[in-house]
Structure 1
Amino acid sequence: MSKGITREILEDWLKNVRPYARDGKVADYIPALAKQNPDDLAVAICDLDGDSVSAGNEVCCFTLQSISKVLSLALALMDHGEEYVFERVGMEPSGDPFHSIYRLETHNPSRPLNPMINAGALAVTNMIHGITPDEKVGRLLSFIHEMTDDRSITYNTEVASSEYESAHLNRSLCYYMKQHGVIKGSVEETLDAYTKQCAIEVNIRQLARIGAIFANEGKDLDSGRRILPMHLARICKTFMVTCGMYDASGEFAIKVGIPAKSGVSGAVVGTVNGYGGIAVYGPALDGKGNSVVGLKLLELLSNRYDLSIF
């Protein structure tokens, strides 16, 4: 394993950060996520040879939530190319909460500032090829199956339904963008695909392998087969650096310094070129929607093993 990190070392690191779970709270604005146990913690590292080491509750499955934004962006870029996608979604950090509508109202021509905020992610999901929501989600699942080498991965129907029924703000964002021509077709079908996308369920090792694929410039870890074009993998990692941790991305870049994306399930995935992927799960979130345990553990690991890209 890269840098000699063993299961025992990871267990020790996890033990050290476990008390931080008391400093956050699980997401409750999505009813199904409110059921998560804040003590279900896990961490995994997958190197570029495909070898992985993990600790904590390794069998626990959790939903990708906003981590899926990186994957849907990659798929939309493969479907349409950069020019098409970035005519409709910008490339700039927002500095606002992930669900904010403010920039849509003040930014001409009502284009989302980046694909990592909800408005931008909804626009990206709307672009993915597929006649029906299930076709779009099916193609995204196939992409994830390739990355993880596990075709059993699917979405959690309870979480997807809960998110869809409570998606009043996201529905507003969609209608606003539809009014200005950013989103095409049915708003409800876009929301259906987006909430299923966010509800895709993985375990900690699968998530670490996804991070490692990006660290490997889009190539499969075992065969070397290209899953994602190198320049698109680099675009996705750049967005992870600038926008991946919501409006805490700047602080995270200073303290941790690796491309990473978080989700309100409490999952965080990081990717380090030449090293591999790191995944952390801890459902208790801080005020900006990031896992408190995940942030602390990634900071400790980055400082201890000098992982910062800066």
Structure 2
Amino acid sequence: MQELLKELVEKHRKTTELGKVASYIPELEKTNPRNLGIYILDNEGNEYFAGDYDNKFTVQSISKVVALMLAILDNGEEYVFSKVGMDPSGDPFNSIRKLETSSRRKPYNPMINAGAIVVSSMIKGDDAKDKFNRLLEFFKKITEDPSLELNPKVYLSESETGNKNRAMGYYLKSEGIITGNVEEALEVYFKQCSIDVTAKTIAKLGLFLANEGQTSTGEQVVSNRVSRIVKTLMVTCGMYDNSGEFAVRVGLPSKSGVGGGIVSVVPHKMGIGIYSPALDQKGNPIAGVCLLEDLCNELKCRIF
């Protein structure tokens, strides 16, 4: 496995040249687009890695998976999905168009920005700082990574340039979808996206979901049902408006982030973390997707 991963990273290092790093968040534009790494953890305790697997990067939209689990624990499944849907939107992840034109009013799913802001608004706490700290501690627990922390430079960059997200938040407030303080919800959202991780961190998140919401100690942190809901939404919506093609090519529950991360789940077997900051036009890591496709071809680990 170790040799396979090394070969795949070397093969797709050149693929990174076909993508571009996210430039709409100024701090992310400083990233080296040629970076590429992978980390795999399996149920037998084996760890395999290659490339730039230990580089730190911000989790970005992969945090939507974590926030969704915590919001369901805090509020219950029925309430959460009364405010946000479960269907693919067919639009880019940061689109605002269907909020006003759709008859459903609520965002299509928790994996697009509008839905994620609603989910972040549901996290319990006395104020934005308390809510974010709860989310951060939850993230540490399920990844068994106590080193996780906020990247303050990326957070400020996100907050200062996140005008479209702010517009979505206030629109959702006007429609009664967000019931609390909008600025608190946005602060939590911008901060959760700005948590520093490595490919190993998100591989641990993948393994947690592969084990139906259990940590390596056997603690059941979220129920099998919540784990199944999250993985299903990762399949249908986790790779933005390219989720259908990704399901055909790769065939694993996955979630990407514009920081370059992809978390993938091989149910009951392993978690996979990818770092590949050069993105395609849909906002997904271009070399990371190709690497995953080749890996699934070799391991025959698709769920379909």
TM-score, scaled to structure 1: 0.96
1:196 paired to 2:207 = no
Deviation of 1:132 (Å): 1.3
Instruction: Indicate which of 258, 261, 270 corresponds to 1:267.
Output: 261
Find the aligned partners of 2:53 and 2:269 in 1 and give their Cα distance: 21
- The answer for the alignment partner of 1:172 in structure 2 is 167
- The range that moved more, 114-123 or 57-66, is 57-66
Q: Deviations over 1:97-143 (max 9, x none)?
A: 00111111122341001000000000000001112111111111111
- The range that moved more, 51-60 or 78-87, is 51-60
Report how many aligned residue pairs link the two structures: 304
Whether the aligned pair in 2 keeps the contact of 1:272 and 1:307 (CA below 8 Å) is yes
The CA RMSD over aligned residues, in Å, is: 1.0
Instruction: Indicate which of 293, 302, 305 corresponds to 2:296.
Output: 302
Find the aligned partners of 1:257 and 1:156 in 2 and give their Cα distance: 32
Deviation of 1:12 (Å): 1.1
Give matches, 1:89-104, under 5 Å. Answer: 89-104=84-99
Whether the aligned pair in 2 keeps the contact of 1:13 and 1:297 (CA below 8 Å) is yes
Deviation of 1:185 (Å): 2.5
User: Secondary structure of the equivalent of 2:13?
Assistant: helix
- The answer for the alignment partner of 2:27 in structure 1 is 32
Instruction: Indicate which of 203, 214, 220 corresponds to 1:208.
Output: 203
Find the aligned partners of 1:195 and 1:132 in 2 and give their Cα distance: 15
1:126 paired to 2:121 = yes
User: Secondary structure of the equivalent of 1:171?
Assistant: helix
Deviation of 1:197 (Å): 0.3
Taking every aligned residue pair, what percent have the same amino acid on both sides? Answer: 49
Whether the aligned pair in 1 keeps the contact of 2:53 and 2:275 (CA below 8 Å) is no
- The range that moved more, 56-65 or 101-110, is 101-110
Give matches, 1:35-74, under 5 Å. Answer: 35-74=30-69
- The answer for the alignment partner of 1:254 in structure 2 is 248
Structure 1 runs of 4+ with >4 Å offset: none
Unaligned runs of 5+ in 2: none
Q: Deviations over 1:173-201 (max 9, x none)?
A: 00110001011232222111110000011
User: Secondary structure of the equivalent of 2:271?
Assistant: strand
Q: Deviations over 1:230-259 (max 9, x none)?
A: 110110000000000000000000011000
- The range that moved more, 253-262 or 34-43, is 34-43
Amino acid at match of 1:129: K
Q: Deviations over 1:69-122 (max 9, x none)?
A: 011001001111111000000111111000111111122341001000000000
- The answer for the alignment partner of 1:277 in structure 2 is 271
Whether the aligned pair in 2 keeps the contact of 1:94 and 1:114 (CA below 8 Å) is yes
- The answer for the alignment partner of 1:86 in structure 2 is 81
Whether the aligned pair in 1 keeps the contact of 2:39 and 2:274 (CA below 8 Å) is yes
- The answer for the alignment partner of 2:153 in structure 1 is 158
